[in-house]
Amino acid sequence: MSNTEKYLAIRNLVNSTEKRSLVYGASFSEFVILRTIEAGGASGIRRVDLAEQVGLSVSGVTRALAPLEKLGYVEHREEELDARVRKVSLTKTGRELFEDIQKDVQRLMDQIAPDIELLAKQLIK
């Protein structure tokens, strides 16, 4: 298997995983964003830090957050010491959604574990 074929195999697995809807119609990408915000704690996470951690531009994060904010899952907060700093955090509803999605992601990961193991064996060859 050439390096190109290995890369394409990994990419196909990731793409097929991300295309599967999670509970409430959430995408895997939304899960990654919610997970990163949740890890930021109650005080929230700066958009620039969120963007860096999820591999998006700040404008990409802004676009991804818009529907989550509209649905009441995330909220914006201003930093107490510096009003120029805006953070994003999960609302109570957002935390509940994240917990449900996290369980669904675990189910999905359990389903694709054989595919990951098979691909890993193919990549090692």
| Predicted confidence (pLDDT) per residue in 88-105, tens digit | 999 999 999 999 999 888
Question: Which of the following CATH numbers is that of domain 3-120: 3.40.50.2300, 3.40.50.300, 3.60.20.10, 1.10.10.10?
Answer: 1.10.10.10
User: CA-CA distance, 103 to 72, in Å (whole number)?
Assistant: 20
Paired sense of beta strands 45-46 and 74-78, if any = unpaired
CB 88 within 8 A of CB 50: yes
| Predicted confidence (pLDDT) per residue in 46-91, tens digit | 999 999 999 999 999 999 999 999 999 999 887 777 777 789 999 9
